[in-house]
């Protein structure tokens, strides 16, 4: 059967080979950094082993740059990737949750402004699915409360808000090159930072950072070859069942390498960065088709995009507000070979490992719980066939309770 992967970077065997060859060049790291600096508009960049490694390092640097030992909390959206609280734990800090608005999938600026900042070191954005958060607001709220802002652009490389790159708001930002992000090297990430005390602390931390272990980077390269060659719908149905690729799983894991980015991953990331605009155009055009086709379907809510923003649309997120309809929709899309997912399965407050880290028990985050129970993400990558959006509409219409009642 043919199966459209839920997310991914469409990449030819030639691109992969060119990237791996590029990794042999000792200047590949500098070339990648220069591209990341250009895209983010920030003066510092370091490439590291993953987005979570980037977050761990930035939080450690922020802790070093801020002398107050009282400030050991990181204020994060109550619905985001589980790697975020895992990286906070790895940095020896605690998460504090701020609820999200289901309409935007982002922390509501009013809720953020009302948060207790007495122990907050840093506020972290999420920019989920590549849709920019209200980052100008976060920046001013964090500054007003004496906290740093870390702009988590793991899913939003190439997105912008009023002309400013997502990832460049606040003191430092991060990008991920994992599976299902804007560009994929299996694992990888980058930190960007402005001039200042956090960048100076990062400079110290990065100077002592070990290189990637040969086994680690070799394994990731082997996985990348399989992943790249098999992302096409005609073969993806087979690979998605291979457990060692770890596709589609969301886990809370604090044991991961914190190293520099391996050479092959650096080369492939640099190669894909050169095609960032083309990759983004395809995703945006597929997201627009989905939005146009699904607009107005009963029980289906499209995300609200901030004015003046350009999204990266690493996936297209919709919410289906009727639980039985949502389950049926995911199952029917799956059966039709369209990789729709339920995204992160829980609000962070409902992840036991995260709840155990919270200083005060069970904050009330109904917005995050609503998102977790309603969200469905749809593919936008370059292997989505023409007409997919209309097929999705047809499948949702047939699964819809409105239609069941009418029949």
Ligand X SMILES: *Cc1c(COP(=O)(O)O)cnc(C)c1O
Which residues here bind ligand X, judged by CB under 6 A? 50-52, 80-81, 83-84, 126, 152, 154-155, 176, 178, 189
Q: Which is nearer to ligand X, 257 or 337 (CB)?
A: 257
Give phi and psi for 118, each to the nearest 5. -60, -30
- The CB-of-16 to ligand X minimum distance in angstroms stands at 19
Give the span between the Cα atoms of 195 and 159, in whole angstroms: 22
Q: Which is nearer to ligand X, 139 or 152 (CB)?
A: 152
Q: Which is nearer to ligand X, 11 or 81 (CB)?
A: 81
Give the span between the Cα atoms of 260 and 190, in whole angstroms: 9
> Residue with the closest Cβ to ligand X?
51
- The CB-of-155 to ligand X minimum distance in angstroms stands at 5
Which residues are within 8 A (CB) of 241 and not within 5 positions of it... i.e. 6 or more apart?
none
- The CB-of-69 to ligand X minimum distance in angstroms stands at 26
Q: In b/e form, how buried is each residue of 314-323, taking b as 16+ CB within 10 angstroms? A: bbbbbbbebe
Q: Which is nearer to ligand X, 155 or 311 (CB)?
A: 155
N residues, the chain:
407
Q: Which is nearer to ligand X, 258 or 370 (CB)?
A: 258
- The CB-of-81 to ligand X minimum distance in angstroms stands at 3
120-124 vs 73-77, strand pairing mode:
parallel
- The CB-of-179 to ligand X minimum distance in angstroms stands at 8
Q: Which is nearer to ligand X, 250 or 288 (CB)?
A: 250
Q: Name the nearest CA neighbour of 128 among 187, 177, 79.
A: 79
Do the Cβ atoms of 241 and 198 come closer than 8 Å?
Answer: no
Do the Cβ atoms of 307 and 329 come closer than 8 Å?
Answer: no
- The CB-of-178 to ligand X minimum distance in angstroms stands at 4
> Quick one: tokens of 314?
């690493």
Q: Name the nearest CA neighbour of 188 among 264, 242, 129, 126.
A: 264
């Amino acid at each position: 059967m043919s199966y459209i992967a839920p997310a991914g970077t469409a990449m030819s065997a030639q691109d992969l080979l060119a990237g791996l060859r590029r990794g042999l060049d000792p200047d590949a790291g500098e070339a990648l950094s220069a591209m990341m600096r250009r895209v983010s508009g920030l003066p510092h960049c370091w490439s590291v082993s993953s987005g979570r490694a980037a977050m761990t390092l930035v939080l450690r640097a922020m802790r070093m740059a801020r002398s107050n030992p009282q400030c050991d909390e990181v204020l994060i959206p109550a619905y985001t990737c589980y790697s975020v609280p895992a990286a906070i734990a790895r940095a020896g800090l605690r998460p504090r949750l701020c609820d999200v608005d289901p309409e935007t999938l982002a922390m509501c600026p009013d809720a953020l402004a009302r948060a207790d900042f007495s122990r907050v070191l840093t506020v972290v954005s999420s920019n989920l699915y590549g849709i920019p958060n209200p980052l100008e607001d976060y920046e001013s709220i964090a500054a007003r409360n004496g906290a740093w802002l870390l702009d988590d652009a793991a899913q939003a490389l190439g997105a912008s808000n009023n002309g400013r790159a997502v990832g460049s708001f606040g003191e430092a930002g991060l990008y991920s090159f994992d599976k299902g992000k804007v560009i994929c090297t299996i694992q990888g990430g980058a930190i960007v930072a402005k001039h200042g005390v956090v960048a100076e602390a990062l400079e110290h931390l990065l100077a002592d950072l070990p290189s990637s272990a040969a086994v680690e980077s070799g394994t990731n390269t082997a996985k990348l070859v399989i992943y790249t060659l098999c992302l096409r719908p005609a073969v993806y149905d087979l690979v998605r069942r291979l457990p060692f690729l770890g596709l589609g799983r969301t886990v809370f894991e604090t044991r991961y390498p914190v190293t520099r980015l391996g050479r092959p991953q650096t080369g492939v990331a640099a190669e894909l960065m050169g095609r960032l605009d083309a990759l983004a155009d395809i995703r945006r055009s597929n997201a627009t088709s989905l939005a146009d086709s699904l607009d107005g379907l009963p029980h289906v809510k499209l995300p609200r995009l901030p004015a003046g923003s350009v999204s990266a649309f690493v996936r297209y997120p919709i919410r289906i507000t009727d639980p039985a309809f949502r389950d049926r929709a995911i199952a029917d899309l799956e059966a039709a070979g369209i990789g729709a997912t339920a995204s992160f399965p829980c609000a962070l407050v409902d992840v036991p490992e995260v709840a155990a880290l919270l200083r005060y028990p069970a904050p009330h985050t109904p917005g995050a719980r609503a998102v977790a129970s309603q969200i469905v993400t749809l593919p936008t990558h370059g292997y989505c066939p023409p007409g997919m959006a209309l097929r999705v509409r047809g499948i949702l219409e047939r699964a819809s309770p409105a239609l069941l009642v009418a029949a």
